[in-house]
Amino acid sequence: MFDKDRFIQDCIEAVPAGRDAIREIVALAVSDSEGVMKGLGTPEHAGITPLYRAPDLTIIKFVWAPCMSLMPHNHQMFAVIGIYSGREDNILWRRTQTSIRAAGAKSLGSGDVASFPRDVIHSVLNPIGKMTCAIHVYGGDFFEPGEPRSEWDHEKLIERPWNIDRVKSLFREAEARANVMAAQH
């Protein structure tokens, strides 16, 4: 079974070796999706739950509400994403002279891992009608990064400063919409 404390310690020890070493740890963990679910608990709400936070490493349990979408954003640090339940579709973006444009995609299911460099811009969609659960590991402090982060408006793709409070409210709103939809069916 997934041991959260062992996982955190393994990630801490792997930080000096970099993103590929973290990716191996995350891949091993999510290869036993049921074990991770038991170890972290069945999700009751969508949201962002920090499991570990330091200046050089943040580990977060993400629970995406059904059919939730998160605007394009950057991290200014590497990211390793492991899915242990559901689906997470990532659209990858590239900067243009005035905005961003779609440049690729990665669709992840249970047991899949994606590794992104520090300069990636991506948006995230949970395309299914149930919660998606993921472990995200970042090579820095996700909540207070050393460099300013950006997000882009969904519709016009206009860049603005990243705002964690806005992101948290999107999780709450997406869960509320999903609950209304579930009650109607």
What is the pTM for the complete model shown? 0.94
H or E element in which residue 181 lies: helix 164-184
Q: For residue 184, is pLDDT > 90?
A: no
Contact 60, 142 (CB under 8 A): yes
What is the tens place of the pLDDT at every residue in 86-137? 999 999 999 999 999 999 999 999 999 999 999 999 999 999 999 999 999 9
> 4-184, superfamily in CATH?
Jelly Rolls (2.60.120.10)
What are residue 121's DSSP bridge partners? 74, 93
Q: Which one, of 140, 146, 82, lies nearest residue 111 by Cα?
A: 82
Q: How confident is the model over 137-173, as pLDDT tens digits?
A: 999 999 999 899 999 999 999 999 999 999 999 999 9
12 CB burial (10 A radius; 0-12, 13-18, 19+):
middle
Residue 81's pLDDT is: 98
List pLDDT tens digits, range 2-31: 999 999 999 999 999 999 999 999 999 999
Widest distance between CA atoms in the chain:
50
Task: Specify the pLDDT at position 183.
Answer: 80
Cα gap 45→64, rounded to integer Å: 9
Whether 44 shows a pLDDT value over 80: the answer reads: yes
* CA–CA gap between residue 108 and residue 149 (Å, rounded): 24
Read off the pLDDT band of 180 (50, 70, 90).
Answer: confident
pLDDT at 182 over 90: no
Please give the Cα distance from 11 to 8 (Å, whole number). 5
SS (H, E, C) 95-160: ECCCCEEEEEEEEEECCCEEEECCCCEEEEECCCCCCEEEEEEECCCCCCCCCCCEEECCCCCCEE
- Chain centre distance of CA 149: 15
Residue 185 reports pLDDT greater than 80? no
Q: Where are the domains of the chain?
A: 4-184
